[in-house]
Structure 1
């Protein structure tokens, strides 16, 4: 891991580092600090919305390591403003807005005359870091005694906010996670809940597919030879890598928005030697009970403060509906979600979309599925506009001078 990080510092230009405040990027940054004499500049995102903000931990690590730390301050309005530009560069619909702050972050990197950054992608996939892996462990444990009233309570360890639910909602939650609970031999067992939940988005399509999520997955995901012999964790890791890491995390949220600003990301955790080593590890060295990335934490304990290396993983996310529906809703949102625009693209049921819009405009708290639906519909409409309807007319194009103004405004707000 140390060598994988250090060789990625080889460049004809200065190399910076993304610093999220989490375990992965803190570890690679600490390796650079401890094993080189290089001056180091780090970059991170601060959100105006406290639900998504981790700037406290970022500052903690930057101060601990003594890096020259730069921050891009991101509001709901900033995400909404740059989203068309993000879709222009990613060239695909998506169910998240997380690439938008990463787009602004890479611009900050470029503004500081850096072209290369070290970043922490891959650790969660190859060392068992995601909640979906822990969810799979709990469900398999529960499936051995499906009528147990105690085993599903382990979900509270996985999702702490579950502890605040009332008895009625807790019964609903138990019912939700119990779907296909005992079908542990299914090849896609670890992802069944997520895919079934995500399939609810298909109700918005003008022509929803007639097949189930399981049938769709069987058509789209290649299953390797001897897959049935792999450990449950290895199966879940493979599915996450082929459905999330490669097509989304390293593309839309990674290379596409970084290269939009001519910034190259380098990934020590995806060094082929690190990947091969991780794939040879027994599952208990990755996920020990419900403690994710156990072996990486042992390395990090020698490099990081205890409050950083012992932190429970907090996934990187960005606001969705509040980025598009607020006091100054961007003009393109109303334009692309109008009934006429929806009829023109022919992708979505206008009535269903209008119901979703009214819900978002009401100010009520939206579910994660509703949030994904808004991002999915809007990004698909943007993709249609940019690459089918009118390639030469970019909605809300952002010039270089506009970007400079955005960054300067963000720095002023952060100072205040």
Structure 2
């Protein structure tokens, strides 16, 4: 697990400065503190750099990247893990092919050399982002894993393409100007992003399951965006009829395989552990393979309504895990808010991101580099309340009134705390989303429902730039009709979540960015693509059976989970909002005074200072109801995040800062 960066110029005569490449690596030293490397051969117009976190093959010299193979014909850098690489290596060695290291990364250029890129991508299993340059084709490939677990950003300048694992890495290049984009700014205030976009003008993400093929010719660069994988739910009526046991046994078998592969490392592996069945399932399965008790890491909040640590402890005791509990309060959550935004490079609606950053810090404090996590389970097996709502509204025809009443009551009672965040306070309908999907998925409604607030909160100059802009339309346009047409409503709802909330939130500010902030690798077995492809075949009524979510997973994990967890309903993992605690509210107000005072807001020209003050006053009013406060809490966090983004990345000279970092690390060439 590492960080990658590079430059591909319009023609081979353009020299690429070595120190610039090293500065880009220094900006992501947190992603790879163990070593660094760079490569920029003369008269090739391509250069790459790499910051390494040693997980597989700890020998510094053998695992150093970039790889430059075939006598200089192939150059590549890789971030992430390729699982099952030993089998691939063995097959290639049997064919007389040599390797220079034991690193999983080296299978990438070797496979490409013998199979080409299309077949190589089919072979790769895991979470990854990579850049590979082929001199023979004079082509650069930028590729990202199927779900977007690992980040990869890029932008085009007058001289070529600049890419990197984080936005700040790209901003370290002197040709890239830091500027918040009007539409990107708008989406920062409503949480949900347009797939492939960022807050920054001209900087994009390689989308999950996609590859950019950037070819160089006499007229400059040609950029092709190619999809190589997608979550493919069957067309209605095409699923083969199988027994319940077939699906239950299949989930267990595929998940066991995914966990076993992700336990492979040359360093100790622990587990994140909350009170949900997802992380508990992973710990239970991993413990079955471990030779000694595993380390389990749990977050505890200082609010009984949001804290799950007691249930996590029950699971830890059942498998005799060595549990570490990190207790978080207002000081820890809000004192580290600005630091978290530096790493997420986008706004956050809840301090859960801060909590995750603090937990990864604790993991490294006790000398662990790798943990297994439960992310992806809700996406595959329909665990979120929004899925239950869509199943009820669009996927369960013929319910009698008693059944319907029981369903509604169960959903509303169990999710009262999260109304305004996980579930919409009021219904929001996007006409274009209705046209594309058949309905506006419940997962998007809480955030699209913030649109009116966002229009008033955005600065008048940016407000004019987004006049007539409908965020639901922009998101709908990025969704592939081929994978939505003729699908069951639950399949559609899950597909939209995977394309928006999973990649843009859970795997970004809830995953890689806050984990790698402390040089820690998180591995989510549920997002193994072979498990995902099997899960797509599971009938909707086995994912949500009656009003019980994740039915098939619960049955697959019988015997692994204690009875309490097996029976427990999904509880959203979320930090206590500021309005629930006077101390937290005072801390949030203090941050707003520090970064979003009227003077600073007016100077930045991003937000409307009057409306920001109106929202603060409304939040402090006793007449504002709870669901409104949940929504406003999210919007205020976003507004604060926007101002911190401006502080970190626009006001600061990032190229100069990157060079300072390189000097401190003694990475000067």
TM bin, normalised by shorter chain, reads: 0.7 to 0.9
For residues 147-188 of structure 1, what are the alpha-carbon distances to aligned partners after superposition, in whole Å with 9 as ceiling and x for unaligned?
A: x89846632111216899xxxxxxxx999459699x976515
**CA distance change for structure 1 residues 213 and 178 in 2, over 3 Å: closer, same or farther?**
closer
Match of 1:310 in 2: 567
Alignment of 1:91-106 (within 5 A): 91-106=345-360
TM-score, with structure 2 as normaliser: 0.53
Deviates more, 1:369-378 or 1:385-394: 385-394
Asked if the contact 1:93–1:376 (Cα under 8 Å) also holds between the matched residues in 2, the reply is yes
Asked if the contact 2:380–2:532 (Cα under 8 Å) also holds between the matched residues in 1, the reply is yes
- Identify the structure with bigger relative contact order (alpha carbons < 8 Å, sequence gap 6+): 1
Deviates more, 1:193-202 or 1:64-73: 193-202
Match of 2:599 in 1: 340
Asked if the contact 1:109–1:115 (Cα under 8 Å) also holds between the matched residues in 2, the reply is yes
Deviates more, 1:48-57 or 1:154-163: 154-163
TM-score, with structure 1 as normaliser: 0.83
Q: Secondary structure at the match of 1:319?
A: coil
Match of 1:413 in 2: none
For residues 15-56 of structure 1, what are the alpha-carbon distances to aligned partners after superposition, in whole Å with 9 as ceiling and x for unaligned?
A: 000010210000010011223323311001000112211111
Match of 2:322 among 68, 71, 83: 68
- Are residues 1:372 and 2:646 paired? no
Match of 1:276 among 533, 541, 545: 533
Q: Secondary structure at the match of 2:394?
A: helix
Match of 2:521 among 248, 264, 270: 264
Match of 1:194 in 2: 446
Would you identify which runs of 4 or more consecutive aligned residues in structure 1 move more than 6 Å? Answer: 141-145, 178-181
Q: Report the structure number with the largest CA radius of gyration.
A: 2
Alignment of 1:136-175 (within 5 A): 136-140=390-394, 151=404, 154-160=407-413
Match of 1:218 in 2: 476
Give the whole-Å Cα distance in 2 for the aligned partners of 1:385 and 1:350. Answer: 16
Shift of 1:326: 3.9
Match of 1:291 among 544, 548, 571: 548
Alignment of 1:99-118 (within 5 A): 99-118=353-372
Match of 1:360 in 2: 619
Deviates more, 1:342-351 or 1:148-157: 148-157
For residues 360-408 of structure 1, what are the alpha-carbon distances to aligned partners after superposition, in whole Å with 9 as ceiling and x for unaligned?
A: 34576552211110111011110111000125799xxxxxxxxxxxxxx
Give the whole-Å Cα distance in 1 for the aligned partners of 2:559 and 2:493. Answer: 29
Give the whole-Å Cα distance in 1 for the aligned partners of 2:506 and 2:610. Answer: 32
Asked if the contact 1:152–1:174 (Cα under 8 Å) also holds between the matched residues in 2, the reply is no
Match of 2:300 in 1: 46
Shift of 1:212: 3.5
Deviates more, 1:311-320 or 1:256-265: 311-320
For residues 321-367 of structure 1, what are the alpha-carbon distances to aligned partners after superposition, in whole Å with 9 as ceiling and x for unaligned?
A: 35885455675430222111111222221111001122334576552
Q: Secondary structure at the match of 2:271?
A: strand
Q: Secondary structure at the match of 2:519?
A: coil
Give the whole-Å Cα distance in 1 for the aligned partners of 2:543 and 2:358. Answer: 33
**CA distance change for structure 1 residues 369 and 391 in 2, over 3 Å: closer, same or farther?**
farther
Count of residue pairs brought into register by the alignment: 383
Give the whole-Å Cα distance in 2 for the aligned partners of 1:253 and 1:16. Answer: 18
Q: Secondary structure at the match of 2:291?
A: coil
Q: Secondary structure at the match of 2:518?
A: coil
Q: Secondary structure at the match of 1:334?
A: helix
**CA distance change for structure 1 residues 293 and 319 in 2, over 3 Å: closer, same or farther?**
same
**CA distance change for structure 1 residues 226 and 26 in 2, over 3 Å: closer, same or farther?**
closer
**CA distance change for structure 1 residues 273 and 141 in 2, over 3 Å: closer, same or farther?**
closer
**CA distance change for structure 1 residues 69 and 163 in 2, over 3 Å: closer, same or farther?**
closer
Identify, as 1 or 2, the structure richer in strand.
2
Q: Is there any run of 5+ residues in structure 1 with no aligned partner, and where?
A: 165-172, 395-416
Identify, as 1 or 2, the structure richer in helix.
1
Match of 1:386 in 2: 648
**CA distance change for structure 1 residues 58 and 277 in 2, over 3 Å: closer, same or farther?**
same
Give the whole-Å Cα distance in 1 for the aligned partners of 2:590 and 2:474. Answer: 36
Match of 2:507 in 1: 250
Deviates more, 1:152-161 or 1:12-21: 152-161
**CA distance change for structure 1 residues 328 and 288 in 2, over 3 Å: closer, same or farther?**
closer
Shift of 1:94: 2.5
Shift of 1:245: 0.7
**CA distance change for structure 1 residues 337 and 180 in 2, over 3 Å: closer, same or farther?**
closer
Shift of 1:215: 2.3
**CA distance change for structure 1 residues 161 and 314 in 2, over 3 Å: closer, same or farther?**
closer
